[in-house]
Amino acid sequence: MNQGALSVPAQIEVVGDPSTEVAWSHLLGQDPRILRIFRARTFAAGRPATLEVLGTQLGVTRARVKQLEDDAIARLTRRRVDDTATEPIEVLVRRLRLKLGTAATVAAGERTLRALIADGHPDTGLRRAVLLKLAGPYLLDRGFWQIRDTVSRLEHELIERGESLYLPGELDRELEAAGVVADQREAIVAALPLHPLEGNYLLWVGTLATKAVRVLSSYGKPMSRAAIHQAMDSDTVNFRSMVNDIQRDRRIRRVALDRYGLADWGGEEYTTIVQEITKVVERNGGGAHLEEIVNELVERVGVSENSVRSYANSRSFYRRPDGQIAVEFGDSSARVVKFPPELDRDLVLLDGRWTVRVAVDREILRGSGRPVRNAIAQAAGVEPGGERRLEVLPASFRIGWRSKQPAFGSCRAVALGLGAAIDDLIFLPLRDGGDAQLTRRGDLDAAQGQARVGLELGVGANADRIAIATAIGLPAEAPLELIRARLENREQPHLASLVSR
């Protein structure tokens, strides 16, 4: 709407002007019955009275009340159009519309109405209700006086358009086109699904992972979990829930110990320290000096020097005569490093079988395969060049290692057989004869403390410390400190702090 097209004669006083009082009397009439119908029904501030109630109060039939109301509205409409005596009211209508636009806060509406219609008159409330209807009609919704659900329509348009980032100027133009006046735009923006970030606005709908994707896309570089959390408004977003979401979402890739980027940006995914050492060794032709490995991993993925040295000296590697760390036998015949299953974040020991935890997404439900880490294939007894079909209930699935990286075949039949939906967790036994399990996302989100740990590890919300220790490959009598240390080593620090008994 072109706000400039509304002109207001400067010579007409708004509050207390005699001509305005005459205009009100002329517009509304003097019939007590009509004024009562107007107050209670036609221009009621709250819930309008029924025809039956008004008929009883006025001593007439329901049909007669409806006739009186229809005739009164018709007269009011004719007087607005044909009678110059009501022009002062039209001035008030235009001023109200100019001030409030198509949406304004309740406070702005009250200030404007007080300026246009003085307090103290017996019909002050009626007159204000008439102005709100004639100028709009304005309806009170979501804390705003609105015309035609302006705020809801703007919200719908933003979501339908689906653009992730909005510049302030773009939003300003959108609101201006929708008829929102300048001094109300900040309040309207605050009511829309938008999140302010670095002077711009992000569309703020969807899961926590979707919001994290938009934050990363806005910054254009990998960020730590704490930085993402801060950008998402740390006062309102649960940190653990955010971490759980981003670690399960395939759009987000962990590129360092505490750095996450978008999968579309490419680059290697950070896995475990053992696998990162292996990558460095392989890039250097099968062997690398310890200091080279330490320097690269400390700088590139942010792990501690002591951790790198400790894992490099583990039984997963050996020293060549020249002092280099290697992942192959001395006779140069190739071998694959055996990754301990208990250190892989998605492997758990259930009913004596190593079981892999898989987050259900659209790709799984579509039937797509997916790469997996070496430790998962090895736990299934699959070596490079091999393949295996695992017969589990409710359906079988395949895991093969025909290329550099092992991969699952389709798990769709298992997911559908369990009744899984997107964001649920399924647990697939890596030995024949086991039963696949399902953990609902809703149960995860509702769980607190150690119950959350049990659900994420597939041992149930009532799991005690013994069950948790066994699930991550520790003895049943393992102390609390060792359980927490193991979870930290499995890259699950968000679970370590929740184990309590």
Structure tokens at 352: 């004596």
Q: What is the pLDDT of residue 304?
A: 86
214-223: list long-range contacts, CB under 8 Å, 24+ apart: 214/164, 214/165, 216/252, 216/260, 216/261, 216/262, 217/164, 217/165, 217/262, 218/164, 218/165, 221/261, 222/255, 222/256, 222/259, 222/260, 222/261, 223/259, 223/260, 223/261
Q: Distance from first CA to last CA of the chain, Å, rounded? A: 64
N residues, the chain = 501
User: Which of 253, 166, 251, 244 has its CA nearest to residue 201?
Assistant: 166
Structure tokens at 271: 């896995």
Domain 341-441 has CATH 2.40.330.10: yes
User: Which of 271, 281, 278 has its CA nearest to residue 337?
Assistant: 278
Please spell the DSSP secondary structure of 282-328, one letter per residue.
Answer: HHTTSEE-HHHHHHHHHHHT---HHHHHHHHTSTT-EE-TTS-EESS
Q: What is the pLDDT of residue 219?
A: 93
Q: Which residues contact 63 (CB under 8 A, 6 or more apart)?
A: none
Q: Which residues contact 291 (CB under 8 A, 6 or more apart)?
A: none
For the chain, the 3-state helix, strand and coil shares in percent, each to the nearest 5, are: 50, 15, 40
Q: Are strands 425-429 and 353-359 parallel, antiparallel or unpaired?
A: antiparallel
Q: Which residues contact 232 (CB under 8 A, 6 or more apart)?
A: 195, 208, 211, 212, 215, 242
Query: What pairs with residue 166 in β-bridges?
Result: 201
Domain ranges of the chain: 3-146, 149-205, 273-326, 341-441, 447-496
| This model's pTM is above 0.95 | no
Tell me the chain's radius of gyration from C-alpha atoms. 34
**Residue 4 near residue 106, CB atoms below 8 Å:** no
Q: How does 376-410 read in b/e, with b if 16+ C-beta sit within 10 Å?
A: bbbbbebeeeeebebebeebebebbbeeeebbbbb
Structure tokens at 273: 């320290």
Please spell the DSSP secondary structure of 230-290, one letter per residue.
Answer: HHT-TTTS-HHHHHHHHHH-TTEEEEETTEEEEGGG--PPP--HHHHHHHHHHHTTSEE-H
Helices 124-135 & 106-116, crossing angle to 10 degrees? 120
Measure the CA–CA gap between 467 and 448, rounded to whole angstroms: 17
Render each residue's pLDDT in the chain as its tens digit; 501 residues. Answer: 333 334 444 333 444 566 788 888 888 888 888 888 888 888 887 788 899 988 898 989 989 999 998 988 888 888 887 778 888 989 999 999 999 999 999 999 999 999 998 887 788 889 999 999 999 899 999 999 999 999 999 999 999 888 889 999 999 999 999 999 999 999 999 999 999 999 999 999 989 999 999 999 999 999 999 999 999 987 888 998 899 889 888 899 988 888 999 988 987 788 788 888 888 888 888 889 999 999 988 888 888 888 888 888 776 788 888 888 887 543 333 456 678 899 999 999 999 999 999 999 888 998 888 888 889 999 999 988 889 999 999 999 999 887 667 888 899 999 999 999 999 999 999 999 999 999 999 999 899 899 999 999 999 999 999 999 999 999 999 999 999 999 988 888 889 889 886
Local structure of 20: helix, strand or coil: helix
Local structure of 448: helix, strand or coil: coil
Helices 87-100 & 18-28, crossing angle to 10 degrees? 100
Q: Which residues contact 96 (CB under 8 A, 6 or more apart)?
A: 112, 113, 116, 131, 132, 135
**Residue 102 near residue 178, CB atoms below 8 Å:** yes
Measure the CA–CA gap between 392 and 387, rounded to whole angstroms: 16
